[in-house]
Amino acid sequence: MKATKIDGNDIKHKLGKKGLNLTSFSEQYGFNYRLVSDVVRGLNRGGYGKGRDILEKLLEVTSEGEGALDGEQS
């Protein structure tokens, strides 16, 4: 499975919209802050192991509620 490429600024912006930052995200989901930061900054590509777990959770949390387009509700 190929690692998913993410944009760190986009992830941080989406977390901010949900009232989270990297510190609160890492504490809430039980991840090491440094590892979360490394995944967001692209130093850890999230291909396997803890990095992969963090990447999947980041994508899950930041994509919640984005199913509707332009404010439309399904």
Report the length, in residues, of the chain.
74
**What are 50's two structure tokens?**
């803890």
Whether residue 39 is predicted with pLDDT greater than 80 in this model: the reply is yes
Whether residue 2 is predicted with pLDDT greater than 80 in this model: the reply is no
For residue 4, the model assigns a pLDDT of 61
In the chain, % of residues over pLDDT 70: 81
Domain locations along the chain: 8-63
Q: What is the mean pLDDT of residues 22-46?
A: 95
For residue 74, the model assigns a pLDDT of 37
pTM of the model: 0.78
For residue 66, the model assigns a pLDDT of 64
Q: Which amino acid is at 47?
A: G
* Degrees, nearest 5: CA angle 61-32-55: 35
